[in-house]
Chains A and B, each alone.
Chain A
Amino acid sequence: EAGVTQFPSHSVIEKGQTVTLRCDPISGHDNLYWYRRVMGKEIKFLLHFVKESKQDESGMPNNRFLAERTGGTYSTLKVQPAELEDSGVYFCASSQGRHREQYFGPGTRLTVT
């Protein structure tokens, strides 16, 4: 069974540009989460989808971040325009239920210069 996949693995962009990260959850997992780890700090929650619906986006830092999950399959996280403080590793996780084990992808390392 394929695990959670994320694309790209690494992205380097200039301040002010736009970047879109993609996450493909494990097939059949309705719950999809985005997290990020900035500057070596702890991993922080961004938002949670159940199928195509946003259940909790309390961790989204500001309106430069837009997450979508059209059709309830893969999800994208767009940062527009990117700022220096957005640099970090963005993780996606999926689970069968809300209180079941979350399986993490390998992450996308975003570097904003």
Chain B
Amino acid sequence: GESVGLHLPTLSVQEGDNSIINCAYSNSASDYFIWYKQESGKGPQFIIDIRSNMDKRQGQRVTVLLNKTVKHLSLQIAATQPGDSAVYFCAETRVNQGGKLIFGQGTELSVKP
């Protein structure tokens, strides 16, 4: 459903710790999911994606987990660094939707040195 309010969920972690950012997606028919990172003054930047026929995908320091049963997506960042501080958005889409992305509310990650 619609998110409300002006305040994003915030996650604060210590440098070097692992971060887990969660997202509940809306449409059980979605078959492609992406995590984006948005730094202040910049547009969203692709981090990692996963298709619905997978439940886990790993990148460099990042892992995305997909649980279709409960429509849940998570992004794990290993050894979080100050440069990881940003707003993280999950997005979903369907193959027959032409690439139109439906974004989640976003989570602000703050990394303390």
The answer to whether A and B come from one shared complex is yes
Is B79 close to A, CB under 8 A?
A: no
Complex contact B41–A99 (CB within 8 A): no
Known: A42-B3, A99-B32. A31 touches B99 (CB 8 A): yes
Complex contact B100–A45 (CB within 8 A): yes
Known: A39-B6, A42-B105. A104 touches B98 (CB 8 A): no
Known: A40-B8, A43-B89. A102 touches B46 (CB 8 A): yes
Is A48 close to B, CB under 8 A?
A: yes
> For window 41-82 of chain A, which residues contact chain B by CB distance below 8 Å?
41-45, 48, 50, 55-56, 58-59
Bin chain B's interface residue count: 20 to 34
Is B70 close to A, CB under 8 A?
A: no
CB distance from A54 to the nearest CB of B (A): 11
Is A88 close to B, CB under 8 A?
A: no
CB distance from B105 to the nearest CB of A (A): 5
Which residues of the partner chain A approach B65 to less than 8 Å between Cβ atoms?
A: none
> For window 74-96 of chain A, which residues contact chain B by CB distance below 8 Å?
91, 93, 95
Complex contact A48–B98 (CB within 8 A): yes
- Residues on A lying within 8 angstroms of B by beta carbon are 4, 31, 33, 35, 39-45, 48, 50, 55-56, 58-59, 91, 93, 95, 97-107
- Residues on B lying within 8 angstroms of A by beta carbon are 2-8, 32, 34, 36, 41-46, 49, 89, 91, 93, 95, 97-106
* List of 4 A-B pairs having minimum Cβ-Cβ separation, nearest first: A104-B43, A98-B99, A43-B103, A40-B6
In the complex, 27 of the A-B residue pairs with CB atoms within 8 angstroms, ordered by the A residue number, are A33-B101, A35-B101, A35-B103, A40-B7, A40-B8, A42-B89, A42-B103, A42-B106, A43-B44, A43-B89, A43-B101, A45-B100, A45-B102, A48-B98, A50-B98, A56-B98, A56-B100, A59-B100, A93-B44, A97-B99, A98-B98, A99-B32, A99-B95, A100-B99, A104-B43, A104-B45, A106-B43
